[in-house]
Amino acid sequence: MICCPPPAAPTNIEHVKLLFDYTKFHLSMYTTLASLLVVILNANFAKSWTISRGLVRSAFCAIVVAGLAGGVVASSMPILIGKPGNLYAERIGPLWFHTMPVEWWTWLEHSSFWLAIVLIVFAFWQRSDPPQLPHAPSDEWPM
């Protein structure tokens, strides 16, 4: 009797590859945005801008946290290849501190990024001296 080989056990290799590529894309986006924020804070052409520099600095810090979390996720992917079970339940962390699950680190990454975006929008929206609107013509003309 000819027997077929047993089906291969499901692995998470494709899922790990996708998460790794997704995280690499995010890390490049964070690096670009952080560089842009440094330029905004230090460039001569931006010195006259009336943005809230404290909010921009806070946004920069949020981007750093997003990058840290993304780095933890990306650097942990090689050790997760082939592990059975739910990928997002695996505990990872920086160095040997594998204390939080992958899902928590991805949540921290995304939340920090979106917090940075909100802070940047508020930094440009909340100006220290709002632009002056042109005055409406009055009935009295200078004579």
Flag whether pLDDT at 115 surpasses 90.
Answer: yes
Q: Which residue reads 């940047």 in tokens?
A: 120
Amino acid identity, position 133: L
Q: What angle do CA 98, 70, 54 make, to 5 degrees?
A: 115
Token pair of 79 as six digits: 């050790």
- Read off φ and ψ for residue 91, nearest 5 degrees: -85, 130
pLDDT for res 85? 76
Q: Structure pTM?
A: 0.73
Residues 6+ apart with CB under 8 A from 93: 72, 76, 99, 100, 105
22-36, 72-86, 93-107, 110-124: the lowest-pLDDT one: 72-86
Residue spans per domain, the chain: 24-41+50-125
Q: Is 136 helix (H, G, I), strand (E, B) or coil?
A: coil
Q: What is the pLDDT of residues 7-60, one digit of tens each?
A: 555 567 777 788 888 888 889 989 998 998 888 778 777 777 778 888 888 999
* Number of residues that make up the chain: 143
Q: Tell me if 63 sits within 8 A of 32, measured CB to CB.
A: no
Count Cα atoms within 13 angstroms, Cβ side, for 114: 6
Flag whether pLDDT at 141 surpasses 80.
Answer: no
